[in-house]
Chain A
């Protein structure tokens, strides 16, 4: 019996087919992987299933019956639930309030006691080991927030759970725990659809897997009968490699070179501007070097990046020294730093990096609006910028390949490529890079990693913030691990080991 079946579903945005004749089936009580590059249409397919975008054509069958799902309420009626990549939780409300939100309809009074006992039963049944019902969501770790989302679906009696990139923000230890839970859900008869771009996870934890490319289904495989290479080839349409294969060029005598960026004894107290304090942080970045910054989210990395990219904003709130090319940079602004050769790829491309209701050209100009190539006599040279964007589109393989498209309509990976292309456009000597491949597909990851290594090989310096340990291990020359606002440990390339680094991230000693 199939829990879910897509029959020739199409969804069009403008002239662009986000889904075209999509057909696949998900067996009941199984874990089904849905993989594909960003923009391949997997998120769209799930949004169609969840009723956010009703399909233009085709049918969806639930439990072997055709159904109409035109609104998330319909989806919930058919016991379909979804955990979005960005959690949909009210941060200041308690876990209980978040879970029963939307379930109180038709009842005038909410019986909180009964809700708690139901939730305890769910937690016990699925062995989730969670009972912090009255704690505000903001006080929970990312892993626990995810549990809350899953419990919420179970409380709504969902039988089909869609998980969109569930491991994006988790430590290796948390990932392991999540998949134990998912196995338990399956044993209890639930069906799980796992959207992911991490082939290793998909291979390890799913029963079958469907691959999408450019809005269409490439094929469905039994997980036990396929392998990483085959899936990758299906996704990208060509053979790709998983660890960086290229040359790591070492310039002569880097040890004697002076650091281009140096931070000495930097402390920043928690304030309205930042919730993550920094305590006595010192680091140096030399040419021809990638320094990775590891750590569980919320341990000071965000503050460090904000400080490094806009020290003037912290002028009266920090102590310590910050130098670029040997000169104090405490008063620099983002624009003057750019002038001094610092490029920035911000943490959250949507919140900090893009104007979603503007086209690629306008976005390309952000931060470059005073670059003399693009600004003449106070007038922005859109034509020149547009030519550059066209060039970047082909250099970075950005899709859709039309500079006039709104960035809000682009997939995450392509948005990220645009942000990187913009950061590299003035040819910076120092690159501050945060989560360059977050939510980006395999094919694009390779290209992004390529471009970062290329910068390094040209003698540039890169400070790489990432939540993906594999990525840090792949790319960095050194890794600094942050915990509680301090540098908890430093690893040289020959000491790299995921479990060790993971332990230091959790506050342990090296």
Chain B
């Protein structure tokens, strides 16, 4: 019994609990998805094998999976950080779009970089700062509107997504346009802006950036959990009235969390523009900003939890093309379906309550029968 109660106490820990819920939810979603595959006439094991190969099959595959994962880590953070302050950031898509076009514009913004080779080591940090600021300021707008005017952030971020798309399209077509191309894309950035991919990834555009991203997640985790600033965000997110009563400004927490969240979303521009296409292309994002919401929800707002969560969604994104390619009947839509089912599985709180009550009653009755 004591072992059981120790186990239960550890289960009680909120982080452990939500971790278990997320894992069970994902597994449930995956199983449901596979059952649907079975009905569609594909062996579930075959599907799993394709997903596995698509992710780990070769250096290139793994690199591409990481390339799909990195933006999702960033947008996951962009959603999770404001979420800790009680805001639901639906605007990561717009923030990353503006971040990306800012990164792509860096050679135009600071032309002397090209003419002075001595300054060129600054190119990448400069571009990254520009991306962070663009995304951050775009994210700060709904934060400020919420703080000063009480506008609901879900509405404003959604609307700002469209405005960001409009601005980026205008810039890409009329202002920063690549004269050599007939497409809506900006000028090709000079060589010294390019991030070098690892050779083991055999062509997949992912290099040291993945370490920096991982490190960034750990730093954000420490910031949220250990610093006074992070504490204030969490207090506001949990109970804004209590936070205010004890002298924490909810306005400041909202604005700063949206700025930082938006800035992190803007860094997707670094992954895509500096790492991959070396220019801004309209429509480059695979809805990273929206999948980021799913990533943050699966991680239940836990910053470290974003890593496995983003990897899972990155894997599904990478795998969706392979499923289409390797099977006769399954299309890319299936992986969208699995993503949706996972969210459903995680979100169905009530289900877990019922399950745990049921389990507990059975165990207790079992224990009682043994004892008496």
Contact = CB atoms under 8 A, between A and B. Distances in A.
Contacts of A336: 247
Contact of B365 (A57, A335, A375, A380): A57
A54 interface: yes
Interface residues of B, number: 32
Main secondary structure of the interface of B (DSSP, over half): helix
A353 B360 contact: no
B8 A366 contact: no
B246 A380 contact: no
Nearest to A335: B247
A352 B228 contact: no
Contacts of A176: none
B107 to A, nearest CB: 36
B361 interface: yes
B231 A365 contact: yes
B286 interface: no
Contacts of B182: none
Given A335-B247, A338-B247, A56 B361 contact: yes
B239 A310 contact: no
B242 interface: yes
Contacts of A309: 245
A406 B238 CA distance: 13
A335 B235 CA distance: 15
A335 B252 CA distance: 15
Interface stretch (A110-118, A215-223, A292-300, A355-363): A355-363
B247 A333 contact: yes
A211 interface: no
Contact of A15 (B8, B238, B243, B368): B8
A334 B246 contact: yes
A352 B242 contact: yes
Given A15-B9, A378-B227, A357 B246 contact: no
Contact of B239 (A354, A365, A369, A370): A354
A342 B235 CA distance: 21
A351 interface: yes
Interface string B238-270: 110111111110000000000000000000000
A353 B245 contact: yes
A301 to B, nearest CB: 16
Contacts of A354: 239, 242
Contacts of B244: 310, 334
B245 A344 contact: yes
Interface in A370-416: 370, 375, 378-380, 382, 404, 406
Contact of A378 (B229, B238, B246, B364): B229
Q: What interface size band does chain A fall in? A: 35 or more
Contacts of A439: none
Interface of A: 10, 12, 14-15, 54, 56-57, 309-310, 333-336, 338, 344, 346, 351-358, 362, 365-367, 369-370, 375, 378-380, 382, 404, 406
B229 A366 contact: no
Contact of A355 (B8, B13, B226, B242): B242
Sorted from nearest, which 9 A-B pairs have the closest CB atoms? A334-B247, A367-B246, A335-B247, A15-B5, A355-B238, A14-B12, A352-B245, A366-B246, A369-B228
A309 B6 CA distance: 43
A320 B41 CA distance: 79
B244 to A, nearest CB: 8
A391 B231 CA distance: 22
A54 to B, nearest CB: 7
A366 B364 CA distance: 38
Given A14-B11, A355-B239, A370-B228, A54 B246 contact: no
B14 interface: yes
Contact of B228 (A344, A353, A355, A375): A375
